[in-house]
Amino acid sequence: MSDPGSTLFAPISPSRSGMLAVDDLHTIYWEEVGNPNGIPVIFLHGGPGAGLSPQHRRFFDPAQYRVILFDQRGAGKSVPLGECRNNTTQLLIEDIERLRVLFDIGQWLVFGGSWGSTLALAYGQAHPERCLGFVLRGIFLCTQTEIDWFLDGARWFHPEVHAEFIAPIPEAERDDLLQAYVKRIMSDDPAVHMPAVRAWSRFEGRRVFLLPQPEDPPSDALDLGVGRLESHYMANLGFFSDDQLVRNVDRIAHLPAVIVQGRYDVICPPVSAWRLHQAWPGSVLNMIPDAGHGAMEKGISRALVAATEQFKRNRGFAA
């Protein structure tokens, strides 16, 4: 660990990084950290569109894990930024498989939070034979109910944030906020789409942590990735059939899994983690009593590191 007060491992730089062309349009950024002979793990970031942070490397003991991280299509250092064409969950799953083959990995631990948990479940259910187990945080099953909550439920806990979000939308369009924002976010005119993606990103960002945090400096790149891709995936229900990720849990139910969930997560409410846990009897649910949605909230980051440490020792998780 970096210091006695930290819940994370010390900062680490990639041992390798590069770009992988996955089709004629998209090229994705990847990086590898840790022990090249260690336990393989794939890290799946949230959003969609949020991209990687150096902090994401720090959930894993670098002496024992070989960690592969990548920016999903349209996110972070992948190009083109914010591109929604050729961007579906099924294509992201294919990208994960391309990376697995590139690194000559037979099986790996799958680690993902928020949208990363969605993609982890979808990947695992498509390729269970490639998975050693799962560490999942802030569960999002990409159902219509969850999407409605994300957009409209905010007014129950953050009415001032919700009021700011709907203010740019004419009253006649407020019955369908998602489509109102999609129309603006997908505009080719930066004078239209940049204010919309900034409003979308701010709407989410102000609700991530249980306790108020200093706001990060504005980032057009982050706002464009998050605003474009989140609205794109929500408008398409994640490219899933109805409740697909719960209905198909049986495909991965034989594999070990730990679910870390903030009790006061208002982005991805705990009911989704509970539903997943109930459908997956062998999973371990760790409800963090003093946390919201943020991976870097102390209780959540501590639980995630504890999960990777336990998997390292046992290749599984004890209830």
Determine the average pLDDT of the residues in 259-271. Answer: 98
- The yes-or-no answer on residue 265 being catalytic is yes
Tell which residue, 312, 301, 309, 308, has the closest CA to residue 5.
301
Task: State pLDDT tens for residues 12-39.
Answer: 999 999 999 999 999 999 999 999 999 9
Catalytic residue among 71, 95, 223, 265: 265
Could you report the per-residue pLDDT of 110-141, keeping only the tens digit for each?
Answer: 999 999 999 999 999 999 999 999 999 999 99
pLDDT at 319: 55
Give, in words, the CATH class of 16-141+239-314. Answer: alpha beta
pLDDT at residue 2 above 70? no
The predicted model gives 284-303 an average pLDDT of 97
Predicted TM-score of the model (pTM): 0.96
- The pair of structure tokens assigned to 78 is 């992948």
Please confirm, yes or no, whether 216 is among the known catalytic residues.
Answer: no
Question: At residue 174, what are phi and psi to the nearest 5 degrees?
Answer: -75, -10
Catalytic residue among 114, 117, 272, 283: 114
Paired residues of 261 in beta bridges: 287
What number is the average pLDDT over the span 89-95? 98
Q: What percent of the chain has pLDDT over 90?
A: 93
Distance set, CA 70 to CA 13, 29, 45, 218, 223 (Å) = 14, 6, 8, 23, 18
Q: Give the model's pLDDT for residue 258.
A: 98
Mean pLDDT of 152-173: 96
1 pLDDT band (50/70/90 cuts)? low
Q: Where in the chain are the domains?
A: 16-141+239-314, 144-237
- Is residue 271 scored above 50 in pLDDT? yes
Give, in degrees to the nearest 5, the angle at Cα 233 between 60 and 282.
45
End-to-end CA distance of the chain: 25
Residue 301 annotated among the catalytic residues of the structure: no
Which of 62-66, 83-87, 175-179, 315-319 shows the lowest mean pLDDT across its residues?
A: 315-319
- What the block records as the tokens of 301 is 């980051």
Nearest to 225 by CA among 200, 258, 191, 253: 200
